[in-house]
Amino acid sequence: MIKNILQGLQGYTGAFGLISKLKLWKYFFVPIIISFVTALVIGVSAYGLSDNIGNFIAKVWFWDWGKETFTTISSFIGGFVVVALGLILYKHIIMALSAPFMSPVSEKIEAHLTGIQQHQHRNTSFSEQLSRGIKINLRNLTRELLLTLPILLISFIPVIGIISSILLFLTQAYYAGFGNMDYTLERHFKYNESISFVRRYRGIAIGNGIVFMLLLLIPIFGIILVLPLSVTAASLKTVQVINAEKLSH
């Protein structure tokens, strides 16, 4: 697992240079706009909802003493919950809607690595790529929410709450890496086969997703660079692993 996580992280080495070398920046124009708009909508919604959720939680405290302190803590908790859920939604929305634009990027990277310009894999249209992206990300969104909600509840427990933050980050990283890897997998495997592949190499997905999540912490530039760098890194490692599996069989 640790070895695969390091591989996922290693994929980012030289990713920026490869994008420029293969002239891939033009493919990221629309996804970057999608990323900006989605981040803006979710950010504005999060700002408005955090106080509402905080006030809702504060109603649990019936007593007058400590009411102000508990309300302040509740607002913080409300903000944390909204940010966590907002990041999950943002991630899956941009990855689903960007699928038709990211698949050609992955294909060009694969052609560069293998030297085969005309691949013999599954041929999919723009609409099929979009449909696949929406399907895989809806599936991942549902599973991630089912894992995230219990983790958020654990976060309220003293001491153990620190562990929950790490679990929450790694869960988000895994599903981010999953989505990035699928831009390559959709050409090679059917839906269920792709899910099995990512499970076998979940460490690579986590490694890729760790940088994805860290990039989002960088104001403005993170939103611009997150897809170009993470998709390029995921494509590099996914193609390498697919080719290694073929050679071993």
Whether 143 contacts 178, CB under 8 Å: no
Cα–Cα distance for residue pair 173/166, rounded to 1 Å: 10
Residue 178 CB-half CA count within 13 A: 29
pTM of the model: 0.85
User: Which pLDDT score, from 0 to 100, does residue 44 have?
Assistant: 79
pLDDT at 69 over 70: no
CA distance 153 to 29: 38
pLDDT band at residue 247 under the 50/70/90 scheme = confident
pLDDT for position 219: 82
> Looking at this protein, which amino acid is placed at residue 66?
G
Mention every residue, 6+ apart, whose C-beta is less than 8 A from residue 139: 195
- Report the C-alpha dihedral over residues 208, 50, 32, 119, rounded to 10 degrees: 40
Average pLDDT, the chain: 84
Which tens digit of pLDDT belongs to each residue from 133-188? 899 999 999 999 999 888 877 776 766 767 888 898 999 999 999 999 999 999 88
- Most confident among 36-40, 65-69, 230-234 (mean pLDDT): 230-234
- C-alpha R_g of the chain: 20
Query: 148-163: per-residue pLDDT in tens?
Result: 888 877 776 766 767 8
Q: Give residue 119's pLDDT.
A: 59
Residue 205 vs residue 247, higher pLDDT: 205
- Residue 68 CB contacts under 8 Å (≥ 6 apart), including other chains: none
Determine the Cα–Cα distance for residues 37 and 236; give it in Å rounded to an integer. Answer: 28
Cα 114 from chain centroid (whole Å): 26
| pLDDT given at position 72 | 64
The pLDDT score that the predictor gives to residue 172 is: 92
pLDDT at 113 over 60: yes
Q: What share of the chain is helix, strand, coil (3-state, %, to 5)?
A: 85, 0, 15
| Contact in structure between 75 and 47 (CB atoms under 8 Å) | no
pLDDT at 242 > cutoff 80: yes
